[in-house]
Amino acid sequence: MAAFWRRDQLGPAAQALATARRVVITTGFPVATEDGGLAPETDGPGAALALGKALGRLGCDVRYVSDTTSAPLLEALGARALDVLDLSVTDTELETKAKAYLSKHDPSHLVSIERPGRAKDGHYYTMKARRITESVSALDELFRIAREQGTPTIGIGDGGNEIGMGGLPIAKAVEHGERIASVIATDWVVVSGVSTWGTYGLIGALSRDAGRDLLPSAADVRARLDVVLEAGAVDGVTGRRAPMIDGLAVEETLEMLEAVRALSAP
């Protein structure tokens, strides 16, 4: 990750969001389960809700958009204004459908947290280079179009295969990088060890600028992890239905949360 991390992104991304009026947030990444199936991972949805709540406290209207695979997690978390948008990357009407969604909701900003971005061959891949195109809605098209239209976009990721990672030197930095690297770029890209942590970094930067703590409580983070597990999420590394994020016990995420809170204190 250190090989493709880009500096000076968090501050400008937070400054852009501070003036946002209507933000669309997407998240949800299908990963391999222990028994070889696919399920949405724990990294992403809870953090997306935390960012949405922070932006809501700043007076911003927030919508969430995900697909049939991952939307149940956001629904279980109580995300209001949730759109389920199933788009196929091979649909010849893809661009038209993405434009229709954007023109209907007219977001001032888009944020992606741990959400698949297509690779150069037009398919979506897990970190282990498993092709998951049939299980992924092409929500990265919203970001491609938004960028064309001049709507600010922010991508948060940790593996190189997510929305926002386009243009970063992924190919040689990660295993299977040549195949899985996303070609979908965003105006600002937050690369972090775990996407949830990068999202806390962004909320921390918003908190610092606003002069108040907008981060979730540790109790909320734990409770939301339980909620997404109950709704069918699995850990992205082990594929287990366990209170973990990217193979790490939830305590490590809580430590990071408090470190961000300390750094962003007014």
Structure token pair of residue 52: 């949405």
CB atoms within 10 A of CB 38: 18
Give first-to-last CA distance, the chain, whole Å. Answer: 29
Contact pattern from residue 216 through residue 255 relative to Ca ion, giving x for each residue in contact according to CB under 5 A and a dash for the rest: ------------------------------x---------
Shortest distance in whole angstroms from residue 99 CB to Ca ion: 29
Residue 47 near residue 236, CB atoms below 8 Å: no
For position 158 contacting Ca ion by CB under 5 A, the verdict is yes
Report the nearest approach of Ca ion to the CB of residue 247 (Å): 9
Q: Considering only 79-87, 130-138, 153-161, 247-255, which stretch makes contact with Ca ion by CB under 5 A?
A: 153-161
The residue among 161 and 264 lying less far from Ca ion, judged by its C-beta, is: 161
Q: How far is the CB of 132 from Ca ion (least distance, A)?
A: 14
Q: What are phi and psi of 208, to 5 degrees?
A: -60, -45
Q: Which residue has the tokens 């389920």?
A: 84
Binders in 17-46 for Ca ion, by CB under 5 A? 43
Q: Which residue is nearest to Ca ion (CB)?
A: 43
Beta bridge partners of 65: 26, 83
CA pair distance 109, 46, nearest whole angstrom: 20
Residues within the interface to Ca ion (CB under 5 A): 43, 158, 195, 246
